[in-house]
Amino acid sequence: MNILKRFSLFEVSLIAVILGIHLYAALADAYTFPNVWFKRDDAYYYFKVAQNISEGNGSTFDGINLTNGYHPLWMIVNIPIFALARFDLILPLRVLLMVVAGFHAASAVLIYRLVKSNLSHAVAILAAVFWAFNFYIHYTVYEYGLETPLAAFAVIYFIYKLSQFERGWRTKAVTPREIVKLAIIAVVVMFSRLDLVFLAIIAGTWIILRGKTIRYLLPLDMAIIIVSMTSSVALRTGIVPYNNYYASSAIEAAFLALFVKLVLLYFFGAYQHPRTKSVWIIFRQILIAITTSVVIIIGISMLLVQLGFGRDFPRSAFILDWGVSLFLIFALRLAACWFSNNNSTQPESPVLEFKASWKQWLAEGTAYYGVLGGFLALYMFFNKIMFGISSPVSGQIKRWWGSLPNTIYEAPASNWFSFLGIGMGGPFDTWQPASDLFYWGGEVLRALYPGSNRVNDRYYLAMSIFILLGMILLFINKRRSLNIFSKMAFIPLIAGSGIQALSYSATSFGGAKEWYWVSQMILMTLTGSFFIDLILKPLQKIKIARLALEITSVLVGAYFAYNLGNYVLTSMRHGYFPADRPYMEVLEYLEENTPPGSIIGMTGGGNVGYLIRERTIVNMDGLINSYEYFNALQNGEAPIFLYERSITIIFANPQLLEVPPYYGQFAPYLERYSSYGGKGLLYLLEEPKY
């Protein structure tokens, strides 16, 4: 009963509805799980590896090759659940669905509490029910069976704790214990999805540099510097050559620029309070800092080339970077000048500020980054010893795919919209679920801007209009905007989400997926809540209007819940599919056409690998295979590698194996003997036919 007292009536109702909907799904026919709910092949990579770990076979998908192609914390969650697979393959899926429901409910409640404590009750209800019952969020985050439910919960909880920290440090001294606690939460965020390391790193600056102007500017400067350098190289070379040849050198230059520019911007006074000096002085300081940093970066780059460490790099990109970074960093200072409060005191010298603060910064930085970096170093060291590679092999493979021309798998960012994370649909549409609003706006604009070939134009025009209206709202409510941006940790969330998106688009990453953008979905939800609050703020002062808004929010939530519940009711059928129906038709085909004990090579193959009986599936694209197989695939020796591990049957599309990343290396070793659904069942020969 004491636990129930910690929850409001709305929270209890929200939890009950979420768990009720998921419980109905969890009790559905077995056939619905691989065909309706857990449909993504990638999820079964986790499931099969977790099953093998629980049975003492080690971190392996196939029982043959060790692999680390997954995010570690979600695997830890899955291991005890898939220990149940020895009794029944569908039972763990039912249990996992309810575990996901728990993360779902907890995330919705945290969003409610976060928004309620900073905005209004009506908007908090809207934010919570939107997160809980929005179709896109539910489908992308909670139905795939991937790490996204845990990642979403970790990020929301981190933002919630940062919001509490923001209130606390202004009234009492911050203890090392508090810093370490936040660092441990950041570790959970990082290991829930490894690409969230950027948010964890940037949040550290937000925590440690509190009370200083630099905490507001530094995170956004970091994003600006990285996007400036990488986009300057892409401007100079073009997107396709950038992906094929220059991505690695551009990232190296970006990290060099990050260090040099931030140091010089600080010591040239670009992080002093913007209201303490004129616009001209601010521009002069930034101009000198950026110009000096570009000269230093060029010098270091040329030296590295002379020493044999530097890579091929278009040096004229440095000039473009100078102009882009100068413009964006100065524009950020102008915005900071508008939003900040008046400050009539003399600006403190950067050197004096550093002398006064460096001991505190060092102590707290050591506590925070010692914990974060220590756990990351241990993880990388363990992976290097255990698997031969310090980071997940799946990420290495996808970056290799992105550098290949005409690969059969998903291409890297191929145009400027995708490069900047604003692609219209597709894997680089990082604005979801706000993108639906832009689609709707584009349809509204059809009457003014007709033409079936102008869908993209209308979409980006609608996006521009919404951004402009949002900026107007922010500038009109500048004091409240700055206050809420601080209390809800918007700045580290914006910077971390932006850099995370760039870590894919700017590194020629092939095979990016829509579920990568968890922190961006949270950012869009909180941003939408903030703008709705600004619009409704005048009504909140009227008691009857405030009550009406809360009732309306509840009714909207009931409507969203009904729609989602109806979807689950009609898709997760009970007593509809025969109990003996094969989980997937392809399983029946493979079991009829291969002898028991067969070891079958297959591109993808996650769901088949988990559900097939008396046979073993070996992943051929490498995402859940070993680092040794990755090297063999790169060197054109994959057929030999597989045959040496007793794989004599391949189930794949032979045409797919002709193009990158396979480059036809399997063709001389294959002999077809059956076909199914566009794929061939083929013998893998010991010696090539030609």
User: What is the distance between the alpha carbons of residues 355 and 359, in angstroms, rounded to a whole number?
Assistant: 8
Q: Collect the ranges in the chain with pLDDT lower than 70.
A: 1-5, 343-347
Judge whether 667 and 647 are in contact, CB under 8 Å.
no
CA dihedral in degrees (573, 38, 426, 443; nearest 10)?
20
What tens digit of pLDDT does each residue of 18-73 get? 999 999 999 999 999 999 999 999 999 999 999 999 999 999 999 999 999 999 99
Sheet-wide strand order for 616-619: 616-619, 599-602, 649-652, 679-684, 670-676
The full DSSP string for 631-645 is: HHHHTT-HHHHHHTT
Tokens of 434: 């706000």
Phi, psi of 539 (to 5 degrees): -75, -25
| Residues near 670 by beta carbon (within 8 Å), at least 6 away in sequence | 650, 654, 657, 680, 682, 683, 684, 685
Note the pLDDT of residue 294. Answer: 95
Note the pLDDT of residue 467. Answer: 94
Cβ count within 10 A of residue 604: 18
Place of tokens 């028991």: 596
User: What is the distance between the alpha carbons of residues 565 and 288, in angstroms, rounded to a whole number?
Assistant: 59
Distance of CA 592 to CAs 589, 604, 654, Å?
5, 20, 21
User: What is the distance between the alpha carbons of residues 502 and 39, in angstroms, rounded to a whole number?
Assistant: 28
What tens digit of pLDDT does each residue of 426-437 get? 899 999 999 989
Tokens of 501: 């998106």
Pick from 264, 255, 256: nearest CA to 289: 264
Tokens of 411: 């291409």
User: What is the distance between the alpha carbons of residues 486 and 122, in angstroms, rounded to a whole number?
Assistant: 21
Q: Model-level pTM?
A: 0.95
Beta strands, E only, 64-131:
none
The full DSSP string for 53-69 is: HHTTS-SBSSSSSB---
Phi, psi of 279 (to 5 degrees): -60, -40
Place of tokens 């002069």: 284
Note the pLDDT of residue 454. Answer: 84
CB-neighbour burial class of residue 592 (10 A; exposed 0-12, middle 13-18, buried 19+): exposed
CB-neighbour burial class of residue 299 (10 A; exposed 0-12, middle 13-18, buried 19+): exposed
Average pLDDT, the chain: 93
Cα 261 to chain centroid, rounded: 26
Cβ count within 10 A of residue 236: 20
User: What is the distance between the alpha carbons of residues 268 and 498, in angstroms, rounded to a whole number?
Assistant: 26
Place of tokens 């007292």: 5
Q: How many residues does the chain have?
A: 690
| Residues near 443 by beta carbon (within 8 Å), at least 6 away in sequence | 458
Judge whether 28 and 573 are in contact, CB under 8 Å.
yes
Could you tell me the residue ranges of all domains in the chain? 1-30+68-149+541-577, 214-339, 585-684
Place of tokens 């524009």: 331
| Residues near 102 by beta carbon (within 8 Å), at least 6 away in sequence | 19
Place of tokens 């550290």: 204
Torsion 650-656-657-660 (CA) sign: negative
Note the pLDDT of residue 188. Answer: 98
Distance of CA 331 to CAs 337, 495, 629, Å?
10, 16, 48
Tokens of 146: 């991937």
Beta bridge partners of 616: 599
What tens digit of pLDDT does each residue of 217-230 get? 999 999 999 999 99
